[in-house]
A and B are shown apart, each in its own frame.
Chain A
């Protein structure tokens, strides 16, 4: 056989096997229903619902002063950050209300608050913060400190005859923030993108892992082995079929939910986005292929992949910025393709950058993917010898 003919045969076998895999996937109705749910409704609910910034923090007020100033200060704590949960009659009621967990903080304004502000005596308000959720507690305290600080500064200026409105005569730094790429800090954009990536990751690891082990467990792999197919021709179609499936689902999520409903911008090249998404899926599938070769049955492979997928989902920089993690976790996460792809996806969609900015991320992702995949393939072949 001529090399060209061999290539044709190789490709034809690949196509036939890919079709077989696609048919097999499409016949699993509960699975398909879930694929559709995960890339449409689930993306919608999550994009709409998750807010990591402070929202609706329940605030209780104990106002011992009941003056103009104290009321003015309380009125500055408002939605969307703070939700006013009512006034307390007694100062010590606060602890009990916080115990119940409905409210998050108690603002305690001392008596003679107004007088002190007008005369310039030092005075302070007290704040009790529930820190069972530490970051949220800190964030709430930070917002409160900002509000109180601003209020204090205004009263200082007023006291010294420098009204806040005539700030042109006061030497002050005026903060001018520009939040780039997402001016309104629109969380639906980020959350829907990261949810899409989460779903891609789950499906990309789990589908090939389960499919490969299933053939092993049921013994159908023996049938394939007596066929003229090589191990690569058995494994590759599974990955190709799943990549196609997930890419299709991604397109549905992007053009069916994220763009029309949330207005997520696509500032960069679509072609680049989808090619790198395909690379990401294949790289992530490498994890599944690898897991499938070290396990014997689907129960094992399920546990094994979940063991690995959970850290990938939580620690790849989607929930918390990578910068703050301990060094060893950062090294561990260098193995996660998602860690690079989050930068790529937000880069293309929100920043509109091209390959010149993303090549290093893409390269790292490719290297990680190729090593996982290569190792998986090597182990997969070895099983048949």
Chain B
């Protein structure tokens, strides 16, 4: 490999990139914009669940019960309906996600020591929201039941309230949250967004670079030049790797300064694995660009190959452990997952090489494999 020729290819590519002002601007601005919008916008907490109520009992107890829903920050009260008939329309139109129906004789039954059935209709089109809504309702019901039981024992057994409370003392659960002590969803999304921005942005940058030469025909200059395959590919990649490396630094600063995510781990480990990751993500772009011949195809294939798995299978939103087996397998095929482990590990967990070495090794293997594939796919004697 002749380094001067590599430098020549790299500087030619760099000039091409810098002369296209808009492309250059987008290459740097895009990851930062994403980080900003997603850092604030990708809120994964389920709150403000809009709901309507049907109170058939109209008793002090039913009002007391429903009051707990009005008060909860998880629920947004919309309207009290006269009958169940209107509930359909509210759910169908999406204006309400849940309907709570308090039956007749709610107070009468409970005060006489009988159970009462409260119906909750939940919009199931969005399973995650439905599931969380259900747990909120159960939590409110449980707290209410606890008080009912204390009252009941106090009345029927002639115990003092304190005594009844003692006898019904529930089994406590002390939860301690580790790594992200205040359980802020930004703390978990922002480190993963560094992965997202690089994984989605860098392959496209690179893919367009090589296909452009193919499509415009300027690649024939390379075919006829003395530059070797390896020199060409390395030179071609250098500017894009540099752009991506700058982006990692910017994203890291945004995470720490703007979103105030603590960085607990080793910076060197983060830098080293980021460089590996940048090599793999640009490598994906390189391989795609060698397979196709139009920029349109390169654009779409890179987006489908890099964006979609990155959103779905990299642990950004859905943790890899809760995927099905086939998808877990798929998740292991993409580099995003490993780098998510590394960013979250270095930002939040302060774990070192002892824990992360498998992820780093996976990225290294990925980089080497992509490089080899790229090298073999690129030929200076294309069949035409």
Q: Which residues of A contact B (CB under 8 A)?
A: 28, 30-31, 34, 37-38, 42, 45-46, 48-58, 95, 98-101, 104, 117, 120-139, 141-146, 148-153, 155-156, 159-160, 167-183, 185-187, 190, 198-199, 202-203, 206-207, 210-211, 214, 295-300, 302-307, 309-311, 313-315, 319-321, 323-326, 328-329, 332, 343, 346-347, 350-351, 353, 357
Knowing A28-B297, A310-B34, A329-B41 touch, does A180 contact B91 (C-beta < 8 A)?
yes
Chain B contacts of A100 at CB under 8 A? 351, 355
Jot down 19 A-B pairs with beta carbons below 8 A, ordered by A: A30-B291, A30-B301, A31-B301, A124-B173, A127-B173, A131-B181, A134-B180, A134-B189, A138-B45, A172-B116, A175-B120, A175-B138, A177-B119, A177-B122, A303-B23, A310-B307, A319-B42, A332-B41, A343-B94
> Quick check: A137 and B177 within 8 Å, CB to CB?
yes
Whether B40 is near chain A, meaning CB under 8 Å from some CB there, is: yes
Decide yes or no whether B383 CB sits under 8 A from chain A: no
A170 partner residues in chain B, CB cutoff 8 A:
113, 115, 149, 152
Instruction: Tell me the nearest residue of chain A to B298, going by C-beta.
Output: A302
B-chain residues with CB within 8 Å of residue A207 when the two chains form the complex: 296, 300
Shortest C-beta distance, A372 to chain B (Å), equals 19
CB pair A178–B172 under 8 Å, yes or no, is no
Asked if B127 contacts A53 (CB within 8 A), the reply is yes
B interface with A by C-beta (< 8 Å) = 20, 22-23, 26-27, 30, 33-34, 37-38, 40-50, 65, 76, 91-94, 109-132, 134-135, 137-139, 141-142, 144-146, 148-149, 151-153, 166-181, 183-185, 187-189, 200-201, 204-205, 208-209, 212, 215, 291-301, 303-304, 307-308, 311-313, 315, 317-319, 321-324, 326-328, 330, 341, 344-345, 348-349, 351, 355
Given contacts A28-B294, A315-B37, contact A153 B145 (CB under 8 A): yes
* 6 closest cross-chain pairs (CB), A and B: A49-B327, A152-B171, A124-B172, A55-B322, A182-B124, A210-B296
A310 touching B200 in the complex, CB below 8 Å, given contacts A30-B301, A48-B326, A176-B118: yes
> Are A117 and B297 neighbours in the complex by a CB distance under 8 Å?
no
Question: How far is it, in angstroms, between the C-alpha of A304 and the C-alpha of B34 when the chains are bound?
Answer: 12
Q: Do the beta carbons of A311 and B34 come within 8 Å of each other?
A: yes
Contact for B20 among A28, A37, A135, A299, CB less than 8 A: A299
Which of chain A's residues have a CB closer than 8 A to the CB of B123? 179-181
Interface hub of A129, A303, A329 (most chain B Cβ within 10 A): A303
Contacts of A133 in B (CB 8 A): 188, 315, 319, 344
The answer on a CB contact under 8 Å between A190 and B127 is yes
- Known contacts A137-B177, A181-B125; decide if A34 and B300 are in contact (CB<8 Å): yes
16 more contacts with CB within 8 A, not counting A169-B113, A170-B149, A298-B299, are A42-B308, A45-B330, A49-B328, A50-B318, A99-B355, A129-B177, A132-B344, A159-B167, A171-B111, A171-B112, A173-B145, A180-B91, A182-B125, A314-B38, A324-B47, A326-B43
Knowing A172-B148, A177-B122, the reply to whether A28 touches B296 (Cβ < 8 A) is yes
A101 touches B341 (CB 8 A): yes
Give the residues in chain A near B114, CB-CB below 8 Å: 168-169, 171
Are B23 and A300 in contact (CB-based, < 8 A)?
yes
Q: Which residues of chain A are near B145, meaning CB under 8 Å?
A: 153, 172-173
Contact between chains at A50 and B323 (CB < 8 Å): yes
Query: Contact: A307 with B26, CB < 8 Å?
Result: yes
The CA-CA distance from A305 to B299 in the complex, in Å, is 10
CB distance from B266 to the nearest CB of A (A): 14
**B265 smallest CB distance to A (angstroms):** 11
In the complex, which residue of chain B has the Cβ closest to the Cβ of A323? B48
A303–B285 Cα distance when bound, in Å, is: 13
Contact residues in B for A186 (Cβ distance below 8 Å): 127
In the complex, what distance in Å separates the CA atom of A21 from the CA atom of B148? 70
Contact check, A57 vs B321: say whether CB atoms are below 8 A apart.
yes
Q: What is the chain B residue whose CB lies nearest that of A315?
A: B41
Contact flag A31-B200 (CB < 8 Å), given A185-B127, A198-B308, A347-B92: no
Nearest CB in chain B to that of A326: its residue: B40
Residues of B within 8 A of A38 (CB): 304
Q: Is A173 a contact partner of B116 (Cβ separation < 8 A)?
A: yes
Contact of A172 among B134, B149, B317 (CB under 8 A): B149
Contact of A131 with B188 at beta-carbon distance under 8 Å, contacts A303-B204, A306-B201, A310-B307 already known: yes
Chain A residue at minimum C-beta to C-beta distance from B207:
A302
Which residue of chain A has its CB nearest to the CB of B43? A324
Partner pick for B167 among A120, A146, A175, A305, CB 8 A cutoff: A120
| Given A156-B149, A180-B122, A326-B43, A128 and B176 contact (CB-CB distance below 8 Å) | yes
Chain B: CB-nearest residue to A184: B124
> Considering the chains assembled together, what is the distance between the CA atoms of A53 and B168 in angstroms?
32
Q: For A53, list chain B residues within 8 Å (CB).
A: 127-128, 131, 322
Known: A174-B117, A206-B303, A314-B311. A51 touches B318 (CB 8 A): yes
Would A177 and B137 be within 8 Å (CB), given that A124-B174, A315-B38 are in contact? yes
Rounded to whole angstroms, the CA-CA distance of A314 and B34 in the bound complex is 11
B364 to nearest A CB, angstroms? 19
Contact B200 A320, beta carbon cutoff 8 Å? no
Option from A46, A160, A202, A309 in Cβ contact (under 8 Å) with B153: A160
State A175–B102 Cα separation when bound (angstroms). 11
Q: Using A175-B120, A307-B33, A323-B49 as known contacts, say yes or no to A302 and B208 having CB atoms under 8 A apart.
A: yes
With contacts A172-B148, A181-B124 taken as known, whether A314 is within 8 angstroms of B172 at the C-beta atoms is no
B299 touches A210 (CB 8 A): yes
A362 and B181 CA atoms in complex are apart in Å by: 43
Rounded to whole angstroms, the CA-CA distance of A109 and B146 in the bound complex is: 23
Q: Are A156 and B297 in contact (CB under 8 A)?
A: no
**Residues on A with beta carbons closer than 8 Å to the beta carbon of B151:** 171
Residues on B with beta carbons closer than 8 Å to the beta carbon of A155: 171
Of the candidates A46, A148, A183, A297, the one whose C-beta lies within 8 Å of that of B312 is A46
Complex CA distance for A56 and B100, rounded to whole angstroms? 31
Contact yes or no, B40 A329, CB < 8 A: yes
Is A153's CB under 8 angstroms from B300's CB?
no
Q: Are B296 and A298 in contact (CB under 8 A)?
A: yes
By the criterion CB–CB under 8 Å, are A50 and B173 in contact?
A: no
Which of B50, B135, B137, B291 is most buried by chain A, counting CB atoms within 10 A of its CB? Answer: B135
A136 touches B45 (CB 8 A): no
Which residue of A122, A143, A206 is within 8 Å of B299 (Cβ)? A206
In the complex, the chain B residue whose C-beta lies closest to that of A104 is: B321
Docked CA distance A173–B137 (Å): 11
Complex interface: chain A residues within 8 A of B355 (CB): 99-101
- B37 in contact with A30 (CB, 8 Å): no
Q: Collect the chain B residues with CB atoms within 8 Å of residue A329's CB.
A: 37, 40-41
Query: Bound state CA distance, A329 and B33, in angstroms?
Result: 13
Docked-complex contact B184 and A179, CB < 8 angstroms: no
Cβ-defined contact, A132 with B180, below 8 A: yes
**How far is it, in angstroms, between the C-alpha of A352 and the C-alpha of B189 when the chains are bound?**
35
Tell me the nearest residue of chain A to B348, going by C-beta.
A132
Q: Please determine whether B175 and A141 come into contact, CB atoms closer than 8 angstroms.
A: yes
CB distance from A348 to the nearest CB of B (A): 11
Which residues of A lie under 8 Å from residue B345 when comparing CB positions? 101, 132
